[in-house]
């Protein structure tokens, strides 16, 4: 076989149409799997030698040839041929050119069907490990910032309306918890990625006595796939990864949206470093939060890849179909997009500066301590529903007179409920409100610091 000859050409009497050749080729994108393809081929050759299909000399020749090809690819010295269709046949053809007829024996007992499924799993397993590392770096940055802002008071919101005072550190740890679930999901997804299709061949297995457990061990897989038909046609692992990635991107958009809001002059809660923002071509005063906005926007492409992969697999009959050539680009782009967004946030978060005075001022508006007043009345013996009504009337007076609850006089408050005494003003302070939430998961500064310490115990080392 010459380096440009089709490996399946014996069945055909005419050359492939030039357009069809370009239309069906995948080498322009699947060559990204070259390192993983070589890794799988080396393990396959070693297994073939152990079962007696290859001699030790042949196995070593194949391994050395593949390692040399890997070096060529790393240096950019490898010529990729469209005529050879994909990464697998390009590497195999180069191997035959290098070591001769022995190179043709490598494909014994396997097909491109199980080969590409193995390559993609090897790639995605590595990608998940890198993404989890990126996630942990962002989590560490959030934890560090949360510790720094453990005492910083800000308004907590529901419906984007001031609800209760919280600490900024507590809010940052809510972001941390979102990402902790994402990391757990990815680690769990990795278990289903880490199953080896190699040895399933085209769909039915091989007539050679392949030791698939040996190959799986050499490649670090937990086990070989149990059914050859399913092994070559399954792309659940890619869809599950895209689903995990979509959830992660959704969480990043929630963080991004709050940063966009908080950097606006209407909130002015935080400032982002200049190097993560851009200006306007016409308005000199503008400082645009482009990084959070772009992360928010990039979620759409990741969500799209999830639906694309689901649609790709919808109604596919067993086993492998050419449709599955379309699985790689969405996976590659999802990985690239995710890692870029995580890096942007992990680089930016340590430099976020909290405008503490603005946050505190905002928390003092909107009757954020109304629930504290209701709790105070409950402790005095009033049923909560009655306390709720009393506080509602007090808030109405505050709205009518444009005063916060803490600015109402004792007499005005006692007009609504005689149980109120002068000790009420201690619970109407912002500091008293957040400090009172002194339980596991609460916003009290002491609990924030405990949560920071606990988070650090669960995060991997740098």
Catalytically active residues, by annotation: 159, 280
Residue count (the chain): 462
How far apart, in whole angstroms, are the C-alpha atoms of residue 435 and residue 417? 25
Q: What are the two backbone dihedrals, phi and then psi, of residue 157, each rounded to the nearest 5 degrees?
A: -120, 150
Residue 153 burial (C-beta neighbours within 10 Å; 0-12, 13-18, 19+): buried
Query: How distant, in Å, are the alpha carbons of 138, 173, 176, 292, 412 from that of 348?
Result: 9, 16, 15, 10, 48
Cα–chain-centroid distance for residue 199? 31
SS3 155: strand
Token pair recorded at residue 17: 């149409």
Look at residues 189, 207, 197 and name the one whose alpha carbon lies nearest to residue 229.
Answer: 197
> How many Cα neighbours within 13 Å face the side chain of 409?
4
Is the CB of residue 49 less than 8 Å from the CB of residue 58? Answer: yes
**b/e per residue 164-173 (b: at least 16 CB within 10 A):** bbbbbbbbbb
């Amino acid at each position: 076989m010459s380096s440009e000859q089709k490996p399946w050409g014996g069945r055909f009497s005419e050359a492939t149409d030039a357009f069809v050749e370009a239309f069906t080729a995948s080498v322009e994108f699947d060559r990204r799997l070259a390192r993983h393809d070589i890794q799988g081929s080396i393990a396959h050759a070693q297994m073939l030698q152990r079962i007696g299909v290859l001699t030790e000399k042949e196995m070593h020749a194949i391994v050395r040839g593949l390692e040399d090809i890997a070096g060529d690819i790393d240096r950019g010295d490898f010529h990729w041929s469209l005529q050879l269709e994909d990464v697998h046949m390009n590497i195999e053809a180069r191997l035959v050119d290098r070591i001769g007829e022995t190179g043709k024996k490598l494909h014994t007992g396997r097909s491109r069907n199980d080969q590409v499924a193995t390559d993609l799993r090897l790639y995605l397993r590595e990608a998940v490990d890198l993404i989890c590392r990126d996630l942990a770096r962002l989590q560490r940055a959030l934890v560090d910032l949360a510790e720094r802002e453990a005492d910083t008071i800000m308004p907590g919101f529901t419906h984007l309306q001031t609800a209760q005072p919280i600490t900024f550190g507590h809010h940052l740890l809510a972001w941390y918890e979102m990402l902790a679930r994402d990391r757990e999901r990815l680690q769990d997804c990795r278990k289903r990625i880490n199953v080896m299709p190699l040895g399933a061949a085209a769909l039915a297995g091989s007539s050679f006595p392949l030791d698939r457990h040996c190959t799986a061990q050499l490649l670090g897989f937990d086990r070989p796939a149990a059914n050859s038909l399913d092994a070559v046609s399954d792309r659940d692992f890619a869809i599950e990864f895209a689903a995990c990635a979509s959830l992660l991107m959704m969480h990043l958009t929630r963080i991004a949206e709050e940063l966009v809001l908080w950097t606006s002059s209407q909130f002015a809660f935080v400032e982002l470093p200049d190097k993560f923002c851009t200006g306007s071509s016409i308005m000199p005063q503008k400082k645009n939060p482009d990084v959070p906005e772009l992360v928010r926007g990039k979620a759409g492409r990741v969500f799209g890849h999830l639906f694309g992969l689901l649609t790709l697999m919808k109604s596919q009959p067993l086993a492998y179909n050419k449709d599955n050539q379309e699985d790689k680009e969405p996976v590659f782009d999802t990985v690239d997009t995710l890692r870029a967004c995580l890096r942007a946030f992990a680089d930016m978060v340590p430099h976020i500066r909290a405008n503490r005075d603005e946050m505190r001022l905002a928390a003092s508006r909107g009757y954020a301590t109304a629930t504290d007043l209701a709790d105070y009345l409950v402790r005095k013996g009033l049923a909560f529903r009655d306390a709720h009504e009393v506080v509602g009337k007090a808030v109405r007076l505050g709205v009518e007179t444009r005063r916060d609850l803490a600015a109402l006089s004792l007499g005005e408050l006692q007009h609504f409920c005689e149980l109120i005494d002068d000790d009420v003003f201690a619970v109407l302070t912002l500091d008293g409100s957040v400090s009172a939430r002194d339980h596991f998961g609460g916003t009290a500064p002491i609990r924030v610091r405990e949560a920071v310490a606990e988070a650090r115990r669960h995060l991997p080392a740098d």
